[in-house]
Structure 1
C-alpha cells in the first residue's frame, strides 16, 4: 500500500542551485495576490472588510502580542499574529539536527521537517498603509515589535535562524 503523502511542510535541499527551499501545502490555500475579480475586501459603501483592519481582529489567527495605541481611537497600533497560511509549522516536532547549508548526503534527497514559526506583523490598524507612509516614530515602533518577536523566538532552543 502506498504511503500517504506528507502534509507537513518540509525544508528540502535544491541540489541544482545548492540552496534550501521550503515546501508547504498550506501556502496554496491563501487568498490569491493576483485577482481579476473586483476586490472582495471592500463593500458597496467602500468600507473595508480586511481581516487586518481595526475591528476585524476576530477574523485573524491567534494574536501573539500587540503594541497598545497611544490614543483612544484604537486599542492597538501594531499586532503580531500567527499566519493562517504558514510556510513552516510550529505544530510539528523540530528535526533532531539541521543539516548545514553546505551538507551533501550524496543521495540527492536531503530534507528535514518544516518546523518553524511564520508570523504576520500588522504594522498599522489602518490597512493598507505602507511602512513608508508611517512617521519615523511609528516606523521605530514597528522595528521594536520585530525586535521583540525575534527575542521571543530566540528563547526556543530548536530555532536556529530568524528572518524578518
Structure 2
C-alpha cells in the first residue's frame, strides 16, 4: 500500500515521466514480495525447535542474509522517487528538492548490506551497525520524510463533508 500511495502522490507532479511511476511501483511490489518470501523462512526456522540445532542455525542465517541483501528493489524504488521529485520544475514543487537529495544519500547506506554474507562479526556482519542498523535507520528517515509530505498534501487538499 505504501508504494502505491507514493505512486499516487508522485503522479500529482505535472509532466512526470510515466516510466518513473512504473519503475517506482514495480520496485515497491518486488520489495513487498521479497519480504513476503522471507517471512515464511523465519517461520520455518522456529516451527520445529526439536530439530538439529545446526539446521536451525542454517535456516536462521539464511533468513537474515536474504533479509539484508534484498535491498536492490528498495534502492531502485527510492532512486525513482528521488528522480520523480527532482523532475518537478515548478517554483513551489510538490516536495522540496532537498528531500530527493537526502533520500538518495540515505539510499547509498544500503550498499554495505550486499556484503553482509562475507563477514561473521562486527559492524559489517549481517546484524552489524553498518549493514543492518544504518540502513534500517535510513529507511525510517526516508519513510518519515515522504509520509510527512504526503500527509501535508492530503491536508491541503482534504474535502470535508
Tell me whether the two structures share a fold, i.e. TM-score over 0.5.
Answer: no
- More helix by percentage: 2
TM bracket (short chain): under 0.3
Q: Which has the higher contact order (CA 8 A, sep 6+)?
A: 1
